[in-house]
Amino acid sequence: MGLNGPFCIYKMLSRKTILIILLFANIVSWSFIYDLTSTSNLEVCFFDVGQGDSILIKAGDKQILIDGGPNNSVVSKLSKKMPLFDKQIDLVVLTHPHHDHLNGLLNVFEKFKVSNFLFTGEIFESKNFNILQDLILKEGSKKYIAKLGLRIIISKDQYIDVLYPFESLNNQLLTDAKANDSSVILKLYSFNDTMLFTGDATFKTESDLVEKGIDIRSDVLKVAHHGSKYATTDFFLHSVLPKLAAISVGENNTYNQPAIEMLDRLEKDNIKVVRTDKNGDICLTQKKTKQFSLSSQME
């Protein structure tokens, strides 16, 4: 189905879409609104794609994909979670262009109709990043640049805020060494529950969020950078205060992730941990106003 006009980070909540631009304290907040009268059950799945990230958010018949993992396994994961004849993804988010988040998106764009694409807009020198840009152009997906103040409204009780980057990085040159710290960071609100998606952010970005006073408190934390010891500090955890931490990580990976030091920090704060290398696909479901419930392949 075609998507027309300036809009649409979401066919996402009904086929009718209205783009609303709000100004708060000189920050442009873009809200992409569909049918605000209906509220859908929500499901968030952290896919087991090996050493990488790929997360699906489903609200009714609408789909958002955050990252694609390191390989094409994401396509089979999506096929199992989406209706047989539904080949449209409303929004794809690339948190940053490292291969373990990007590569699977090449197959996603070949197998599915992607309506909208959200990323930092930075220029990154890699073959697969260039291929992805060509696929987006060929697909005709609408591009949006992630920055603080952008809001994606799913329903009147459900929305996603972009918390980082703080300012537009569009057309800036991104080096491999700096890619993790420019990760798009998102916070999902669904009724009284919240979820924080951190990409591969490190200590620096975590500190920036806390020091800027950004509201990062969340019930569920997607642990940054596959459980690296260089992220998920005590300082950060004491601001997020999660009840559950989800780690996307490959079994027997060569990086020794998740790091023992990081797991110790989670244990010290009595945070329940689930991880794709141990639990397989991890799905959190919410039926209307109820709290999230947890399921995995290997319960």
User: Which whole number is the average pLDDT over 234-246?
Assistant: 98
Higher pLDDT, 221 or 20: 221
- Amino acid at position 276, single letter: T
Report which listed range, 12-16, 24-28, 188-192, 234-238, is most confident: 234-238
pLDDT over 70, % of the chain: 85
Residue pair 189/159 in contact by the 8 Å Cβ criterion: yes
Q: Is the pLDDT of residue 297 over 70?
A: no
**3 state SS of 133:** helix
The pLDDT assigned to 289 comes to: 67
DSSP E strands, 179-271: 185-190, 193-197, 220-222, 244-247
- Rounded Cα distance between 75 and 78, Å, is 5
Domains of the chain: 18-289 (3.60.15.10)
Low-confidence winner among 215-219, 235-239, 271-275, 288-292 (lowest mean pLDDT): 288-292
Tokens at 271, concatenated = 């945070």
pTM given for the model = 0.88
Residue pair 244/275 in contact by the 8 Å Cβ criterion: no
Residue pair 258/226 in contact by the 8 Å Cβ criterion: yes
Q: Nearest to residue 87, comparing CAs of 78, 100, 99, 74?
A: 78
What is the distance of C-alpha 225 from the center of its chain? 13
Q: CA 285, 286, 292, 293: dihedral to nearest 10 degrees?
A: -50
In a 13 Å sphere around the CA of 94, the CA atoms on its Cβ side amount to: 32
